[in-house]
Amino acid sequence: MMRTTLGLLKAMRQRGEKIAMLTCYDASFAALLEAAGVDVLLVGDSLGMVLQG
């Protein structure tokens, strides 16, 4: 998958394209979202803190 840069996001916005950004809480979920073609992955670690302390 192509790396998403700020320049690419800006160009997408200027063209009026929708940008998909989802939160992933672990590596397996990140792999699924990347395979699905999500433009930006927001990494959240709050689940790890809750489960593992």
pLDDT tens, residue order, the chain (53 aa): 678 899 999 999 999 999 999 998 888 998 999 999 999 999 877 766 777 76
Taking Cα atoms as reference points, which of 9, 47, 8 lies closest to residue 27? 47
For the chain, the domains span 6-52
Q: What is the pLDDT of residue 19?
A: 94
Whether the model clears a pTM of 0.75, i.e. scores above it, the answer is: no
Separation of CA 7 from chain center? 16
